[in-house]
């Protein structure tokens, strides 16, 4: 009789455990869309992604604004990369641990992400997080930024990113939707 009760208890434990695991697997992932934008193009893409995946948004913004003049900002970005300058950011996330999937968006500056994104990536532990990069560009796509991202976040799963030409950023909803479906983030 004790053996039957023990077997029945064990069986019930296994059934309840399996149900709990399947409920955990079905739980929606908490998504963050973090981005840096100078001209507004990356912001436009970030907002479209955020709306489609029902995520939360976070702007990576520097305390000191970048110049509006294109040539001046290009030269400044070059110098910042060369000297490994770390700009101060306006705000920090309260709790990165709550997010499972983190989109990281940026304009491609000198073949990688801006130094502000580097600062953001260095401030948090992205271990065991899924990172999905996206960038805006005017012909260079991701450049070396994906390699740089993997170096900054070696314990993360880096998914296939999306590079969008800056001039198409505001009208890229269909392309974003196809990409998100390929990533299985939309039904």
Digit-coded pLDDT (tens) for 122-163: 999 999 999 999 999 999 999 999 999 999 999 999 999 999
The reply to whether 95 falls in a domain is: yes
* pLDDT in the model for residue 1: 52
- Tell me the CATH number at 76: 3.40.50.360
* pLDDT in the model for residue 84: 97
The reply to whether 51 falls in a domain is: yes
* pLDDT in the model for residue 7: 39
The reply to whether 151 falls in a domain is: yes
The reply to whether 177 falls in a domain is: yes
Q: Which of 15, 10, 59 is nearest to 33 (CA)?
A: 59
Domain count within the chain: 1
The reply to whether 12 falls in a domain is: no
Distances (CA, A) of 11 to 5, 20, 93, 94: 10, 14, 44, 42
Note the pTM of the prediction, 2 decimals. Answer: 0.84
The reply to whether 15 falls in a domain is: no
Rounded mean pLDDT of 78-86? 97
13 or 58, greater pLDDT: 58
Rounded mean pLDDT of 99-110? 97
The reply to whether 22 falls in a domain is: no
d(CA 21, CA 23) in angstroms, rounded, equals 5
The reply to whether 187 falls in a domain is: no
Q: What band does 29 get if pLDDT is binned at 50, 70 and 90? A: confident
* Domain with 141 in it: 29-182
What average pLDDT does the chain have? Answer: 88
* pLDDT in the model for residue 28: 67
* pLDDT in the model for residue 27: 58
């Amino acid at each position: 009789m004790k053996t039957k009760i023990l077997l029945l208890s064990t069986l019930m434990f296994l059934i309840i455990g399996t149900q709990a695991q399947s409920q955990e697997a079905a739980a929606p992932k908490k998504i963050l869309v973090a981005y840096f934008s100078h001209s507004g193009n990356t912001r436009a893409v970030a907002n479209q992604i955020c709306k489609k995946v029902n995520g939360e948004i976070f702007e990576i913004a520097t305390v000191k604004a970048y110049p509006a003049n294109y040539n001046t900002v290009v030269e400044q970005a070059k110098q910042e990369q060369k000297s490994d300058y770390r700009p101060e950011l306006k705000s920090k996330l309260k709790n990165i641990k709550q997010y499972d999937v983190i989109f990281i968006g940026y304009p491609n500056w000198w073949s990688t992400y801006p130094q502000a994104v580097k600062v953001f990536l260095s401030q948090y532990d992205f271990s065991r997080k899924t990172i999905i990069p996206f960038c805006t560009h005017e012909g260079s796509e991701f450049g070396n930024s994906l390699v740089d991202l993997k170096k900054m976040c070696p314990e993360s799963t880096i998914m296939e990113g999306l590079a969008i030409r800056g001039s198409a950023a505001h009208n890229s909803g269909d392309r974003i939707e196809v990409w998100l479906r390929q990533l299985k983030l939309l039904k």
